[in-house]
Structure 1
Amino acid sequence: MNIDDLIAIDIHTHAEEPCCGPRDDGYDEFQTGMAAYFRNPAGAKGMLPTVQETAAYYRERKIGAVIFPVDGERETGFRRYSNEEVAQIAAENDDILIPFASIDPAKGKAGAREARRLVREFGVRGFKFHPTMQGFYPNDRSAYVLYEAIAEEGAIALFHTGQTGVGSGMRGGMGMRLKYSNPMFVDDVAVDFPDMPIVLAHPSFPWTEEGLSVAQHKPNVYIDMSGWSPKYFPPLFVRYANSILKNKMLFGSDWPAITPDRWLKDFDAIGIKDEVKPLILKENARRLLKI
């Protein structure tokens, strides 16, 4: 990856489709709900991009992309996209893609062994957690064996925070419980793993102020600005991005739910200072990822 040739690094993109065959039972309904929430018809029509297609899209725009699956098998019943497969395709497109992985903390020591192997053998740089989709509190001690492996391998932990499009509008919210994704639970993780870089994904609504406070207070905590069009960012979130947290805010789209084209267009209209834009769009991620 020639970082100097890139205009930005998108820290939050998804490898959506399950591996090893067709979509699981219920997956179409789930993606239809996601498509309605994000106003993205591709999901409803079963036309979500492959990892290869994602690489081509981002290469055309000269934007680097951190890409990952989400291991929500236990709570949702949907097979995850293979971490190894995502990492292998990312390696084939290493001019533009940066591989993260996802492991349900409930996998315990087996998950910790998988994490070490993925870092050492597949070049995985970080791990995505979705507390609501995985059904756990981030500060649950049962997850610590996995965090220990991630920290010891020098990788990054990225946590979904706040409301989610997963299950939105579906009966019972598809069983998804929003309470798990309050960023204050990640504060404990930041205390107990002070040398592990942590990213709070999204503006953490309705706990935006909690997310900002954790990122301000803990040196190892960053915020990615994905999952929302910037035009919907709360004013306080924009104010912190422009000042106190200008070195900790990261561009993220939530591809394919939100495209970088849409996100960047709206980002230009929210009053971010000219000297801050390069930090958010690339330089903060460059420093975090040690590129």
Structure 2
Amino acid sequence: MIVDCHTHVWEYPGHLSEQFVKEIPRAKSGELNVNIKLKDHFVAMEPVDKAIVFAFKSTALGINVPNDYVAEYVQSHPEKLIGFASVDPNDLNAVEELERAVSDLELKGLKLGPIYQNFHINDPKAQPIYEKAQKLGLPIIIHQSTTFLTNAPLKYALPIQVEDMALKYPDLVIVIAHLGHPWEEDTIVLIRKQPNVYADISAIYYRPWRFYNDMIYCQEYGVTHKLLFGSDYPFTTPGESLKELYKVNQFVEGTNLPRISDETITEIIERDALKLLMRET
């Protein structure tokens, strides 16, 4: 089974701030069409068996992809799509909204982004959210990584900050998005050290030399079994991401430099992320 564990949907205008749209060209080279439609997302998911779709709310940055919007979409394709809720820890009703997203909307996980939502992982106001997620058995995919947005504080983005959360909530499955780029080394030692912390490899291949080295570090540290495939659609597609993962050794062909084994690549691509995230049997 191939699972894309990192995809976005939104409507523009409506869900995105003008700042986000203005600054999005800095995310990667080339143009990105922000006017994506749900049908575009579904077509792009053709190469994978399942895809996780995120809601997202950031009051600080004026971004709101509602939980209801994602729930309605994934319910139209239940054989393929799994919805993850989002709540902003700065909202007084965050825990209640998470409960509603699970009980009423049947969303299956939680997406957080401290750098976007303007909070530190250890902030007391976030703890009830983690507690509720752990109680409900919800995995959390957390953006502990850089961003292109000017007003998003990097001080909240460091992957190493996840360790306190992992230790305090040992039954909570935590996935660090984008392998914590550009702090991949910290992420790698953390996922080796903490049994409930994983990472996805979405949107790293844009920098192919960095991507190759990241994968080598993961192989050398023995953590490739804790890596999940993801695309970060619409910033890229699962088809493009799969192609680039298969090409990860392109720089070292004909050299004595180490290679990521074909077996490892296949295992990452075919890993049943849903079984790992949802503790499915």
Report the TM-score, using the length of structure 1 for normalisation: 0.84
State the match for 2:275 in structure 1.
287
In structure 2, what is the equivalent of residue 170 of structure 1? Answer: none
1:277 corresponds to which of 257, 265, 268: 265
Return the alpha-carbon distance in structure 2 between the equivalents of residues 141 and 282 of structure 1.
38
The match for 1:251 is 229
User: Cα gap change, 1:40/1:13 in structure 2, threshold over 3 Å: closer, same or farther?
Assistant: farther
After superposition, the Cα gap between the structure-2 partners of 1:87 and 1:242, relative to the gap in structure 1 and judged at 3 Å, is same
> Are 1:241 and 2:218 an aligned pair?
yes
The CA RMSD measured in Å over matched residues stands at: 2.1
Distance between the aligned counterparts of 1:82 and 1:100, measured in 2? 11
Secondary structure in 1 matching 2:233: coil
Query: Contact 2:115–2:156 (CA<8 Å) still a contact in 1?
Result: yes
* SS state at 2:65 partner: coil
Matched position secondary structure for 2:141: strand
- Give me the whole-angstrom Cα distance separating, in 2, the residues matched to 1:40 and 1:124: 33
Q: How does 1:4-83 map to 2 (within 5 A)?
A: 6=1, 8-17=2-11, 22-23=13-14, 27-43=17-33, 46-47=34-35, 49-58=36-45, 60-72=46-58, 74-78=59-63, 80-83=64-67
Equivalences for residues 221-232 of structure 1 within 5 A: 221-229=197-205, 231-232=208-209
Q: 1:95 aligns with which of 76, 79, 84?
A: 79
Q: Verify the 8 A CA contact 2:205 2:211 in the aligned structure 1.
A: no
Q: SS where residue 41 of structure 1 aligns?
A: coil
**Percentage of pairs with the same residue:** 29
Alpha-carbon spacing, 1:255–1:234, altered in 2? closer, same or farther (3 Å): closer
Equivalent in the alignment of 1:179: 155
What is the deviation of 1:181?
0.7
Letter in 2 for 1:14: H
TM-score by length of 2: 0.87
Residue range with higher mean Cα deviation, 251-260 or 263-272? 263-272
- Show structure 1 runs of 5+ residues with no match: 1-5, 168-172
1:152-182 CA-partner distances (Å, limit 9, x unpaired)? 00001111022113x1xxxxx1x11111010
Unaligned residue ranges in structure 2 (runs of 5+): 250-259
